[in-house]
Structure 1
Amino acid sequence: MMPEDKIGPPAIRILLNEAEMEAERMTGWVRVVLALALAVSLLGSGGIASIAGYGEFWARLGFGALAVAAFLALGVASLVLTRIGSYAPWMAFAFTAADVAIIMLAVAATLHDTGLGGNWIAIAPALWATPLILAVGALRYRPEIQLWVTGLLVAGLGLVVAASGASFVVSPPDATAFAANATAYDLLSLPANLVRASMLALAGVTTALVMLRARHLLHRAVKEAGERASIARFLPAEIAPLVEEGNLEAWRRGRRQEVTVLFVDLRGSTGLAENMDPARLSVFISSFRRRVMEAAGSYGGVVDKFIGDGALLIFGVPEPKPDDARRAIQCAREIIRLVDRWNAKRRFVPTVRIGIGIHTGEAFCGVLGAHERLEFTVLGDVVNVAARIEQATKRFGAPLVASEATVIRAGDPRQWQEVGREAPRGRSGAVVMLVPSDQATPERQDLEKGG
């Protein structure tokens, strides 16, 4: 079986695993139907034989009845295992091997009872079950199983032919010797041909079932792809794949974990907007967001949401890492660098300025909302404090301000200097705010004009 990491994305693996389970369940039903159909066919053939005066027909049904019972038992076993959840992928190899063994024994028994050599294998009615077995195998959508069955059938038929005796050249049989073995004629009688016709019809119906399942699986894949695309429209790109893996309910329940929150906001956007027509303003805001996304992508941040001319970035989801705070600071520096380069290129008047606030702490992380509109949310004191720190960048005249908790987590406190302490509304302890030692500090009043 192909390793899971080579099958495809998680959603495809889940879909194929579910399809395989459904296929084995359907294969079990096909075995049951096959057994019942063969039983009806044998009974019908026996009735016809009795009417035609072939009373010995019933005496020769021993192995045929045993084969029908074996198919029925395999079908029931398959259905029970899938029903109770004990079915494992390797069992498909065992079930198909049993199918082939039943057919091979039936063919060998036919040749033995009639006294015919291996060259006459084609007239054994049980041989007509081989296309049916191959058709049933196609229900699984597992090429390795189909190759396994094909190999077993070819090898099995070769062994039966060899064991029954075969020659490269077959001469016409001696009429007297052939007539002495009256049972050989039964293989070409109406009852035997009725069995062949039944198996051919079942093979045709099974292949139609394969096509029906293929169409169903295709429609389901398209539907689920559409649903995943819809989910991805509202969830961060880093979170959407986790929901696709079937963890939506877990994310709905949410969890608490440490995160680093980064707020970034444009300064002076009101003045810039007054001098731009709607089309240019749309391009301007889109360009700013693109730079934020570029920086977030470079340092593993998740853009939780854009809020007008600002953005909320999260570091530490879906799983927290020891360097979340350090990467958040690096991301902030990258945003500042990209905006400086943007200013130099476009020569904006007034100059585009930004404010960035960063804080680290515990938060609730989860997916909220209806299925039609899911939203990834981070809630908690850490978010509120980061927002207050971002607002404080105006007062301190600095583009980047981080909390002491973030700087300590980043591991470079000597490269920062304290600029203030305050207790945000609704919070008992004071938050120590720092700016990078090498950060140029513009005139505070100049910044506040554009705020």
Structure 2
Amino acid sequence: MRNASILSPSCEHEKALRRFVVGNILEKIDDNQPLKFFSELRPLTVVFVKLQFYESIKMPGLCRSIQEATVHISGTIESLRGKILKISTFGKCCTFLCVFGLPGDKRMDESTRVLDTAMRISDFFSENHMKLELVSIGITSGQVFCGVVGHPSRHDYTVVGSKVQMAARMLVLYPGLIACDEVTYSKSGLPSRFFKKLPDKEMNDAVTSEVMYEYLGRKKNP
């Protein structure tokens, strides 16, 4: 057992740790709701953003770039009440798991706005030279389990499900693109000329039954 797991209650520690908990969950904690009520199946939009930096970038520069990227992505999705749930780094790659539609954050035009937000994020990194080799974004919509997972002494609030896995897999199958699933494409209500159908590829050892699309954006297709 880690020492941090058996520390006595401390207002100072709690105040510091609250900054790392999603606001939606803090409200439930402050209302003294049992953890079992935190978990549910709900329709969400899942967005993975993968930044591939050049191998030549040094560690101090990489850390500064990831911090800048985090601030920009967080600020960009905030207007849609989107949240960054997880940031993962591996070598010179950094991946952000963002979700839209958590309790209290659902919006009717979510799919449309998420696609436009993804384009703004992609354009920002393309226009600002941050020693990035590639920017890949995967977007899916559908029923997702969101709730508390892990050991009772060390758990986390996250999202799990086939739609989450599909969004993550898109980063590998369609690198350098803004890719979305058929549900997001349909719910957006945008004209088909804003999209390009992507070739079928194997996903989890099988060809997915869904059609995948590349979002080209509004400006590129007036």
TM tier relative to shorter chain: 0.7 to 0.9
Could you tell me which residue of structure 2 aligns to residue 292 of structure 1? 73
- Corresponding residue for 2:4? none
1:402 aligns with 2:180: yes
Equivalent of 1:416 in 195, 201, 217: 195
Q: Which has the higher strand share?
A: 2
Code of the residue aligned with 1:325 in structure 2: it is: S
Aligned to 1:275: 57
Query: Matched residues in 2 for 1:314 and 1:421: separation?
Result: 25
Q: Is 2:201–2:207's contact at 8 Å kept on the other side of the alignment?
A: no
Counterpart of 2:137 in 1: which secondary structure?
Answer: strand
- Residue aligning to 1:361: 142
The aligned residue for residue 6 of structure 2 is none
Q: Give the Cα–Cα distance (whole angstroms) in 2 for the partners of residues 411 and 243 of structure 1.
A: 37
What is the percentage of aligned positions where both structures have the same residue?
21
Distance 2:219 2:173 in 1: 16
Deviation at 1:411, TM superposition (A): 1.5
Determine helix, strand or coil for the equivalent of 2:31.
Answer: helix
Query: Alignment partner for residue 335 of structure 1, among 121, 130, 145?
Result: 121
Helix, strand or coil at the partner of 1:389:
helix
What is the rounded CA distance, in whole Å, between the counterparts of 1:275 and 1:230 in structure 2?
31
Q: Is the 8 A contact 1:400 1:436 kept in 2?
A: yes
Shift of 1:251: 4.1
Q: Identify unmatched segments of 5+ residues in structure 1.
A: 1-221, 442-451
Q: Does the 8 Å contact 1:404/1:433 carry over to 2?
A: yes
Superposition TM-score, scaled by structure 1 size = 0.41
Question: Does residue 33 of structure 2 align to residue 247 of structure 1?
Answer: yes
Q: Give CA-to-partner distance per residue, 1:177-208, whole Å, 9 cap, x none.
A: xxxxxxxxxxxxxxxxxxxxxxxxxxxxxxxx
Q: Which residue of the partner structure matches residue 45 of structure 2?
A: 260
Whether the 8 Å CA contact 1:358–1:402 is kept in 2: the answer is yes
CA distance in 2, matches of 1:284, 1:264: 14
Structure 1 residues 307 and 248, CA gap change in structure 2 (3 angstroms): farther
Counterparts of residues 72-111 of structure 1 (less than 5 Å): none
> Shift in Å at residue 258 of structure 1?
1.0
Q: 2:97 aligns with which of 295, 308, 312?
A: 312
- Distance in 2 separating the partners of 1:430 and 1:393: 16
Aligned residue type for 1:263: F
Residue among 418, 430, 433 paired with 2:212: 433
Question: C-alpha distance in 2, partners of 1:232/1:371?
Answer: 20
Matches within 5 A, 1:24-63: none
Report how many aligned residue pairs link the two structures. Answer: 206
Structure 2: tracts of 5 or more residues without a match? 1-8
SS of equivalent to 1:310: strand
The 3 A distance-change label for structure 1 pair 393 and 378 is same
CA contact (8 A) 2:44 2:142 kept: yes
TM-score, length of structure 2 as denominator length: 0.79
In structure 1, the residue matched to 2:17 is: 230
**Which residue is 1:323 aligned to?**
109
Largest Rg, 1 or 2 = 1
- Residue in 2 that maps onto 1:181: none
Q: Let me know the Cα RMSD of the aligned residues.
A: 2.8
